[in-house]
Structure 1
C-alpha cells in the first residue's frame, strides 16, 4: 500500500512541478540563467533517463514508503538483510536497517545521473510520510498489545 500510494503522490507532484532531469540540465547549462554554469552537450548518465519529470524521485518515495512501514512493523534496526543477484554474483549487499536500503536506492539514482540529490531527499520524505499514514490508518493490529505506542509521530 505504501509503495503504491507513494508512487501516486510522486507522479502527481512530478507533473505539478515538471522539473528537468540532470541530463537535460547539464546539456543545457547555458540556458539556466546562471553565468557560472557551462553546458556539457556530451553528458550521458549511467542509467537511461526516464521519460518523465525528475522531481520528486519515485524510487526515493516508494522505497522509503515501504521501508517506513517495515520499520514500524519490525523495528528500527538489528536486522540482517542480504541482497544479491545471480547476474552480478560478485556484488552482495549487507544491511542492518531498512533505511540503509532506501538510502542506497537514492544514492544509485543520483550517482547514476538521472536525479538531483534534492529529488531523492524530497521523495524519501514524501515516502516516509505516506508510509506513516498507511501504517497508522490502513493496517490493523492482530491484537491490541500497545505495540504502536512506542513509535513517535515524526
Structure 2
C-alpha cells in the first residue's frame, strides 16, 4: 500500500504545503515567494544532477536484474523470469529521481523553517485526496525509500545515494544561492 501511495511523482506532492506551514508562510509574503523559488530551484537542480548520474551509471533496474540474473556474471544467482515489479520506468535505475527531488525539497524546508520538527501533510492525488501526516520533514524519506524498493523500482543503494545527492544540492543552494549582491 505504501508503494502504491508513492507511485505519484514528487512534483505533484511537493507543492502543497499544509496547514501550519501555510499560515506561517502567509504572514510573510516575501518569505512565501522566496520559499517557493528555493523549492523549485532545489527540485530542478536535484533532478538535473540525478538524471546526469542515471545516464552516467546506466544501471539496470531490479526487474531486469532479477529476470536476467544469469547474465550478471555471478554464478550464484539464478533468474526468475516470472518476477514482475509493481512499477516500471523507461530510464536507468540509479539514483532514485523521486528521492533526489523530494529529499532536496524536504531539506530546503528544514533549512527555511530552521527546524525539522514541523507537522505537515501530503495529500494523495491517487487516493481520493487522502492526506498522510508527518511530524518531521525528515520522516517521509524513509517511507519513500522503502516504497520505491517494495514497488520493485529501485535497489536500496539507489535510494540512499539519491538522498545523499539531494542533501548536497540543498546545502550547495544554501551557501551559494540568494546571497547579497556586491
* Match of residue 124 from structure 2: 85
Q: C-alpha displacement at 1:89, in angstroms?
A: 4.8
1:45 — aligned with what? Answer: 85
Unaligned residue ranges in structure 1 (runs of 5+): 142-154
Question: SS at the partner of 1:94?
Answer: strand
2:135 aligned counterpart, secondary structure: strand
Name the structure 1 match of 2:178.
Answer: 139
CA contact (8 A) 1:59 1:106 kept: no
Q: Secondary structure at the match of 1:83?
A: strand
Q: Aligned partners of 1:103 and 1:139: how far apart in 2?
A: 30
1:110 is matched with: 149
Match of 2:54 in 1: 14
SS in 2 for 1:35: coil
CA–CA distance in structure 1, aligned partners of residues 103 and 117 of structure 2: 18
Equivalent of residue 114 in structure 2, options 75, 82, 94: 75
TM-score normalised by the chain length of structure 1: 0.83
> Alignment RMSD, CA only?
1.8
Partner of 2:76: 36
Aligned to 1:148: none
Aligned partners of 2:125 and 2:108: how far apart in 1?
A: 28
Give deviations 1:72-131, integer Å, cap 9, x for gaps.
Answer: 111333211122337525954221111112322222111110100000011110011001
Paired residue for 1:99, among 114, 132, 138? 138
TM-score of the two chains, using structure 2 as the length reference: 0.71
Aligned residues: 140
Q: CA deviation at 1:61?
A: 1.0
1:13-58 alpha-carbon deviations (Å, 9 max, x no partner): 11111100001000001111212211111111111x1111001111
User: Residue 64 of structure 1 aligns with which residue?
Assistant: 103
Q: Is the 8 Å Cα contact of residues 117 and 137 (structure 2) preserved in structure 1? A: no
Deviation (angstroms), 1:68: 1.2
Structure 2: segments with no counterpart, 5+ residues: 1-40
